Amino acid sequence: MNKAVPLALIAVTLTQASCGWLGIRDRSHDYLLAEEMAPTVVPEGLDSSALGEIYPIPAVANDTVALDQLDVPRPDPAAFTTFEQSVKIQSYEGRRWILVNLLPGEIWPRLRSTLVRNGIPAELADGERGVIESVWVKFNDDEESSHRFRFSVAPGIALDSTEVSVLHQSVARGAEEGAEWPQSSDIASREQALVQMIAGELANTANYSSVSLLAQTIGGKGRVELVLPEVADPYIVVQLNFDRSWASLSYSAQRGGFTIVDQNRAGGVLLVDYAESDNAEPGFWQRWFGGDDEVVSSDYQVLLKAIGGNVEVRIVALDGSSLPRKEAERLLTILRSNMS
């Protein structure tokens, strides 16, 4: 054991010593002393294909833009659901749903947990379609009917959001077999009670760390998409009917700097004004001597057109002419970010 200690010290010393200690020159930094050499010239008549640059430098196109020509766009306004958890009950034309500013993959496990805790057993749970169907249940205040519920999870219109809806069905006891789901709830009060219960549970849930990998594909990419063609004007595609699309665009056209001046629902036209100003507090001299913030305003038309089962949304100048591409893209992005 005593002899092993010196041998170990020698091994450590040799490991940490440079190669020069053994008589071998360290060449690891020789590249710093390298000088540029003229390329090899091959005499005429001989093949030079075997020679070439070891590290060829490709030609670089000079696409730089002068600073006075560079147009840096202002940052887009954030949607209302960007920075805080939000759970809201929304309704339109007799329908109601829960809007949560989280992705379906995060809402799906929470919804299932909520139903289990409240004693609502599921007969079907399809994570790919985002559908949960309960078993037939009986209520104490209704001895003649059986009831069941369908819970649907789908991507919301708002950015990175989810919509949860409830459908109620009621049939006479003994007629449960083969019953088909209705288009709308049989008893609106039953649907409303469950919607309020689920919304309250989701709002009180602080930890949304659980994510369902299966439910991440619910609804595909989303029901609203900004399309940027190479040779045509940009536009928004909304995978909803015209009535719901009109309501959502009308809501968005009153936010983010937009103001509705006039509207023609039958023609699918919203006449809007867009104002952009600096929200910073005025300085001392400006407050003392007056002076307003610089405001840039323009009038636009927001056009909605139903094509197939979708609605296409475009923004044009007041006279109907196309806008510069960057301007149209930016205004459509603001409209899309505030849709709900």
pLDDT digits (tens, 9 = 90+) for 163-214: 999 999 999 999 999 899 999 999 999 999 999 999 998 888 655 555 555 5
Among the residue ranges 133-137, 146-150, 270-274, 287-291, the one predicted with the least confidence is 287-291
| 224-282+291-337 CATH pick, 3.30.310.170, 3.30.300.30, 1.10.260.40, 3.10.450.50 | 3.30.310.170
What is the rounded distance in angstroms from the CA atom of residue 282 to the CA atom of residue 106? 43
Q: Which fold has domain 87-217?
A: Alpha-D-Glucose-1,6-Bisphosphate; Chain A, domain 4 (3.30.530)
Q: Quick one: 10 exposed, middle or buried, by C-beta within 10 A (0-12, 13-18, 19+)? A: exposed
pLDDT of amino acid 285: 41
- Which tens digit of pLDDT belongs to each residue from 4-33? 555 544 454 544 544 555 567 777 777 778
For residue 80, which phi and psi values (nearest 5 degrees)? -70, -20
Give the residue with greater pLDDT, 60 vs 230.
230
Average pLDDT over residues 100-118: 88
Give strand ranges (E) for 122-223: 122-126, 131-134, 137-139, 142-155, 162-172
pLDDT > 80? residue 98: yes
Average pLDDT over residues 301-308: 93
The chain-wide mean pLDDT, for the chain, equals 79
Show me where the domains of the chain are located: 87-217, 224-282+291-337
Which contacts qualify for 321-329: CB closer than 8 Å, 24 or more apart? 322/233, 323/233, 325/233, 325/234, 326/71, 326/73, 328/233, 328/234, 329/226, 329/228, 329/234
* Chain CA centroid to CA 267, Å: 30
C-alpha torsion 277→323→228→220, nearest 10 = 60
Average pLDDT over residues 116-145: 90
**How are strands ordered across the β-sheet holding 258-264?**
224-227, 235-238, 310-317, 295-307, 269-277, 258-264
